[in-house]
Amino acid sequence: MKKIGCFVLSVVLFLSSISFSVSAKEPFEQRGIMIDEETASVVALLFVASRLEYSNWSNAVTVSSITPMYDANNIVDAYCLSLTDDESEAGYIVVSSWTGTNLIIEFADEGKSLTKDTASLLEWNPDSDKLYYLGGLAYTSNQNIAKKTGLAIRYSNETAEMQKEFIEKFEDTWQIDNNGGGLCFINNSGEEIDDPVQYLINVHGSGIYSPVSNKSKYCFPYLMENSPQCSIYALAAVIYGSQNQILATPYSNYYDLFDDCFDIAIGNNSYNIVYYSSTSGVDVGQLGPLGRTTLITLGNTTWTASENLWGAFEKAKSELDAYPSRLSCLSIAFGYYNNHTVTVSGYEILSKGSSTYKFLRVQDGWHSSPRYVDMSGINPCTITRVFPGS
């Protein structure tokens, strides 16, 4: 363990030293220096070690395979590292190949590797085909492109410009939603949903959509003044909903709690950690750690917070079914709520014939009344929960 730790520290020092020697004259140079697979493996294991207390990983995690992921110019842009934990599959981590960017791009701490889940969807053969990375939860392959199936190509507004040349080649092949940020797998009409039944009629045609089950809880109808603060608004609403169980002295006003949560996010907390950026808000991978720091700073050491990349609907439903006042944060990458975090306050399941449609009821900070998120398709989103634990 000590040997691994020393090696990791040397890599971190190496990365920090070379990142200052890079000129910023050309776009590629702005990314920093390219790291190799061995360094990416160390970065990934360092990340695993930092999250042992808050994830499904243990100190037995190892890297089982590394797959390069290419950009539009056929340059390695990231590495997908498949993980095993005591010989069982333990998710994956995508590590950027560039020192000038955020090194940890996306991850899952359980289940199959990204490459296994992606192989069949993209008709990707890891032995002969390239895997292209188009930003968070966005992938395609040369086989996918050649056959023009396109079911898994998605991109966010942030990555669209960087991948412009690549996207322009295939705009006629795929239905691209430039306003929503990619293929609208979430809210695929590209609009807000205030009535799930009417939405389904608009999208899937008329008919009888029968209720299967539903649940709704009270969520304070907050309205945001600043969109990059959406995660903090949502986290404050989650704490506010359960504050009688969480806080020794509950707040009489939601916005007073929000103000304190915001102060904590900008660094006025027990650890002097800054979680919030005025331009990009709170990174989705930091919402769980921010939740834990917020709870501790507010005086609660018996509750915790954790985020999960997969199974958002099931985890939110389970929380709503089991507890009378617990809400969750939902961070969404694409669609109508592109790069936005909302507060989950309920769910609704409808059916028509053999088809089932799942919705989460949310407070989005833009409207005083609840809206809905269509969770029936491919859903690149993260659920963050606050619950008793340590």
Give the model confidence (pLDDT) of 241-266 as tens digits: 999 999 999 999 999 999 999 999 99
Condensed to tens digits (0 to 9), the pLDDT of residues 69-86 reads: 887 667 888 898 999 988
pLDDT at 147 over 50: no
SS3 state at 16? helix
Q: pLDDT at position 130, please?
A: 79
**Residue 112 buriedness (CB in 10 A; 0-12 / 13-18 / 19+):** middle
In the block, which residue shows the tokens 């993260």? 382
Buried b (16+ CB within 10 A) or exposed e, 145-167: beeebbebbbbbeebbebbeebb
d(CA 331, CA 230): 9
Condensed to tens digits (0 to 9), the pLDDT of residues 218-248 reads: 999 999 998 889 999 999 999 999 999 999 9
Q: pLDDT at position 89, please?
A: 87
Q: pLDDT at position 379, please?
A: 52
What percent of the chain is helix, strand and coil (3-state, nearest 5)?
35, 25, 40
Average pLDDT over residues 148-177: 39
Q: Which domains does the chain have, with CATH numbers?
A: 2-168 (no CATH), 196-388 (3.90.70.10)
Q: Where are the alpha helices (DSSP H) in 301-372?
A: 312-322
pLDDT at 119 over 80: no
Which residues does residue 387 pair with via DSSP β-bridges, in sequence order? 304
Average pLDDT over residues 5-24: 32
The one-letter amino acid code at 30 reads: Q
Q: Residue 297 phi/psi, 5° resolution?
A: -65, -35
Confidence of residue 52 (pLDDT cuts 50, 70, 90): confident
Which residues does residue 193 pair with via DSSP β-bridges, in sequence order? 372
pLDDT at 176 over 90: no
d(CA 159, CA 105): 13
Distances (CA, A) of 351 to 104, 144, 212: 39, 32, 7
SS3 state at 9? helix
Distances (CA, A) of 320 to 103, 206, 301: 34, 30, 23
Which residues does residue 131 pair with via DSSP β-bridges, in sequence order? 69, 141
Choice between 370 and 4, residue whose per-residue pLDDT is larger: 370
Q: pLDDT at position 265, please?
A: 95
**Residue 63 buriedness (CB in 10 A; 0-12 / 13-18 / 19+):** buried
Longest dimension (CA), the chain: 64
Q: pLDDT at position 386, please?
A: 92
Choice between 304 and 182, residue whose per-residue pLDDT is larger: 304
Q: pLDDT at position 254, please?
A: 97
* Of 39-48, 102-111, 113-122, 369-378, the least confident: 113-122
Q: pLDDT at position 199, please?
A: 87
Choice between 7 and 242, residue whose per-residue pLDDT is larger: 242
**Residue 320 buriedness (CB in 10 A; 0-12 / 13-18 / 19+):** buried
Q: Which of 49, 69, 230 is nearest to 137 (CA)?
A: 69
Question: Is residue 319 a contact partner of residue 336, using CB atoms and an 8 Å limit?
Answer: no
